[in-house]
């Protein structure tokens, strides 16, 4: 499905990003895993190569433009093209709003929102001359729910949805598709650290599908948004939460 495509996935050393990288590699793409933890991303890329896939890794802090630029340049020099960008890297520490520091607010915006300003501005110059490209931004179902202690996170993830809409309008004339996914509660390493098990149980009961969702559930929708199967769609959000909310 992704033969000859070059894909870049941020935050891919573990969790949802790693699931996306695995599925894309299994679907024939050459995948680059960008992550704060370079050795862990390389370990993941090596596992893909060991089973016959094509993958590489870059240590990269998505909130630091120069590290994103170094990775994008390296990939473009090697392949002469970039077809798919998955903006997945994100953090989600919880904090009551009145106790939130300015530094915590800024860090959240830098990693979860401003990062996609950097990645898109650096990758699009490669997609525009190709007259093709697929960008998928990972937001969150929390944007529709507004849970407590996540004001900084939900503000950033709402920004991701708004950004997706504007960028899709500006990129339509270049045949570049920009879409978004809002995952629900997905079982990942990060979620295990940040979520309360009782809350997860409650969410599972409220989902139409009473089961845990895994990175593969998000990766499959990401694959759809990265192939010609979704060529008629841009500027949209797909909510993947097991039927938790409906909008």
**Do 185 and 206 contact (CB within 8 A), yes or no?**
no
Which of residues 26 and 191 has its CB atom nearest to ligand NAP in the complex? 191
Beta strands in the chain (DSSP E): 6-10, 30-35, 54-59, 84-87, 133-138, 176-183, 237-240
Which of residues 7 and 89 has its CB atom nearest to ligand NAP in the complex? 89
Q: C-beta of 142: minimal distance to ligand NAP in Å?
A: 7
- CA angle at residue 12 from 100 to 161, to 5 degrees? 55
DSSP for 87-123? E---------GGG--HHHHHHHHIIIIIHHHHHHHHH
Residues that bind ligand NAP (CB under 6 A): 10-11, 13-17, 35-37, 60-63, 88-92, 111, 138, 140, 183, 185-186, 188-191
Q: C-beta of 168: minimal distance to ligand NAP in Å?
A: 19
Q: C-beta of 62: minimal distance to ligand NAP in Å?
A: 4
247 counts as catalytic? no
Which of residues 83 and 110 has its CB atom nearest to ligand NAP in the complex? 110
What are the catalytic residues? 153
């Amino acid at each position: 499905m992704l033969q000859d495509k070059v894909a870049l996935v941020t935050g891919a050393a573990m969790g949802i990003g790693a699931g996306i990288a695995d599925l894309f590699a299994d679907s024939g793409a050459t995948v680059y895993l960008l992550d704060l933890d370079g050795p862990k991303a390389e370990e993941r890329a090596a596992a893909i190569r060991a089973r016959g896939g094509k993958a590489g890794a870059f240590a990269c802090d998505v909130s630091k433009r120069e590290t994103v630029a170094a990775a994008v340049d390296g990939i473009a020099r090697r392949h002469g093209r970039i077809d798919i960008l998955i903006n997945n890297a994100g953090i989600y520490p919880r904090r009551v709003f009145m106790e939130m520091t300015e530094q915590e607010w800024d860090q959240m915006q830098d990693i979860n929102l401003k990062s996609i300003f950097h990645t898109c501005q650096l990758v699009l110059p490669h997609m525009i001359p190709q007259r093709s490209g697929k960008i998928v931004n990972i937001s969150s179902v929390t944007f529709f729910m507004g849970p407590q202690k996540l004001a900084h996170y939900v503000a950033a993830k709402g920004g991701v949805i708004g950004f997706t809409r504007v960028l899709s309008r500006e990129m339509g004339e270049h045949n570049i598709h920009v879409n978004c996914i809002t995952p629900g509660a997905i079982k990942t390493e990060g979620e295990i650290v940040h979520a309360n098990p009782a809350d997860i149980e409650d969410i599972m009961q409220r989902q139409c599908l009473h089961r845990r969702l895994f990175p593969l559930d998000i990766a499959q929708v990401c694959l759809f948004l990265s192939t010609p199967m979704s060529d008629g769609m841009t500027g949209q959000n797909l909510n993947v939460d097991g039927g938790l909310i409906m909008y």
